[in-house]
Amino acid sequence: MAIYAISDLHLALSVDKPMDVFGDRWAGYMDRLEENWRRLVGEDDFVIIPGDISWATYLDEAYEDFNFINRLPGKKIISKGNHDYWWTTSSKLNKFLDENGFPSIVFMHNNSFIIEGTAVCGTRGWNIPGEDDFTAEDTKIYQRELQRLELSLKNASANEHSSIIVALHFPPFNSKGVFSDFLGIMQGYQVDTCIYGHLHGQAGRGAIEGLREGIDFRLVAADHLAFCPVRVG
C-alpha cells in the first residue's frame, strides 16, 4: 500500500474549458494523467487530490469528471480548491457519491483519514497575509481555514497514528516566501509532510519544497508533476 498525491486536475469532461490555453504543457493532459496514474497506482493504494478537481459549476455537472476519477485505480481522498465551485455540504457530497456509484472516492472536510498509521488531514487554505491585495474579506476566510485545519488535525488525534500528512490547496506561505499561521498549527501537531497545489508555471518555480521548519513540503500541482502522481507515503 502506498500513498500518492496530485492536485489541480482541472478536469473538463462536461464543460468547455480547454486547458491548453494555459500553455503547451497542458496539451492532452487528461490522457497523460490517466496513463501515468494507471502505470503507478495500484488498487490498494491511496491518492490525495487537494483541490481544483473539476471546472464544473454545479455538482451534477461534474458527473463525468468524477466518473473519470472513480474509474482510475486506488482510493481517492478529495479536498476543496478555489476553483471547485461545485463543492457543497458534506451530506450532499456524500449523497452524490452514493447515488452515482463512486465508491473509490471520499471527501476531506473538517475530518481526517488514518491509512495504516498515517493520518491524512487538511483543508483548502487561502491567500496569505503579506500579499499586496490581501483584504479584510480575505482575513475572514483565512481565519476560518486555520480553524478547519485544526479541526481536521484534532479529528486525527483521536486515533492512533505514527505520522501526519497535511494536504492544502493553497501554499502555506506567501509570494515572498513568508510562512503563514498554518505553519504554527502544523508544528503544534508535529506534522511530517505538507503537500499543496495552486501554483502553476512561473509561480511554481518559487515554491518552497523539501525540509523546512521540521516539515517536508511538496508542491503537487499536476502540471508541476508532469501529470504524474507522486508518492508521499
pLDDT in 10s for each residue of the chain, 233 residues: 999 999 999 999 988 776 765 677 888 899 999 999 999 999 999 999 999 999 999 999 999 999 999 999 999 999 999 999 999 999 999 999 999 999 999 999 999 999 999 999 999 999 998 888 889 999 999 999 999 999 999 999 988 899 999 999 999 999 889 999 999 999 999 999 999 999 988 777 779 999 999 999 999 999 999 999 999 99
Between CA 20 and CA 127 the distance in angstroms is: 26
Between CA 223 and CA 228 the distance in angstroms is: 9
Q: Does the domain formed by 3-231 have CATH 3.60.21.10?
A: yes
What's the pLDDT at 20?
65
Between CA 153 and CA 188 the distance in angstroms is: 10
Please name the amino acid found at residue 197.
G
Domain spans, the chain:
3-231
What's the pLDDT at 201?
81
Cell (9 digits) for 106? 471520499
| b/e sequence 24-33, b meaning 16+ C-beta within 10 Å | ebbeebbebb
The strand pairing partners of 106, in sequence order, are 77
Between CA 48 and CA 165 the distance in angstroms is: 10
Between CA 202 and CA 207 the distance in angstroms is: 9
pTM: 0.96
Cell (9 digits) for 194? 505538507
What's the pLDDT at 69?
98
Phi, psi of 218 (to 5 degrees): -140, 130
